[in-house]
Amino acid sequence: MKTSYYFLLVSILLLGTFPTGYIFAQDNSGDSVVVVKGQVSDYYISVSNPRIIEGVVYGPDGKPLEGATVMFKASPVHFTTDAQGRYRISASRYDSQLFVYYPGMQYVYHPFTPDDTTINIHMQPDPRHVRIKPVQEATRWFDPWND
C-alpha cells in the first residue's frame, strides 16, 4: 500500500499533476495491477482452452444443407454451413447449447457436453406455412427498336 502512495506522491511532485498514462497499484501480497488509460468495453478475453465443435447439418431428405446458421444460444458467435453442410465453431466453457436455423425448417436447440466435439444436426420441415420466394429474373432493358 505504501508503494502506491509513494508513487502517486512522487508523480504529483515531479509532474505537478496526476499521472495521465497509467496508475500503478500494489497490495501487501505482492500482486500488482496496471490500469492503462483507455476505453471501457463489454468484450472479454477468454483464458480457457477453446473447444472446436464441428459437424454437418442435414435436411429432411438426408442431404446436407448449405447456408444454415449454427450458433450458440445467447451468443453472437455463429457460422454458416458450406456447400457440404459442414460447420466448425469455437466454443467457450460457458457454451452448452447449439441453435440451428434454416428458412423453412424448424429451429433446432441441441444441448452438448464438454466432451462433445462432433455434432450432426438433422432438421425437419416447419409445419407452419412458410413461403419461400422464387428466384427473380433480372429486369429486361427497354429496347425501343425491338419492343
Q: What is the average pLDDT score of the chain?
A: 75
Rounded-to-integer distance, Cα 90 and Cα 31, Å? 32
Per-residue pLDDT, 137: 75
In terms of C-beta density within 10 A (0-12 exposed, 13-18 middle, 19 or more buried), how is residue 92 classed? middle
pLDDT of 19 above 60: no
Contact yes or no for 119/110 (Cβ under 8 A): yes
For the whole prediction, is pTM greater than 0.85? no
pLDDT of 133 above 90: no
Q: Of all residues in the chain, what percent carry a pLDDT higher than 90?
A: 37
pLDDT: which is higher, 53 or 33:
53
pLDDT of 24 above 90: no
- Which pLDDT tens digit goes with each residue over 96-111? 899 999 988 999 999 9
Section 74-82 average pLDDT = 88
Q: Show the beta-strand stretches assigned E in 41-120.
A: 51-58, 69-72, 78-80, 86-91, 97-101, 108-111
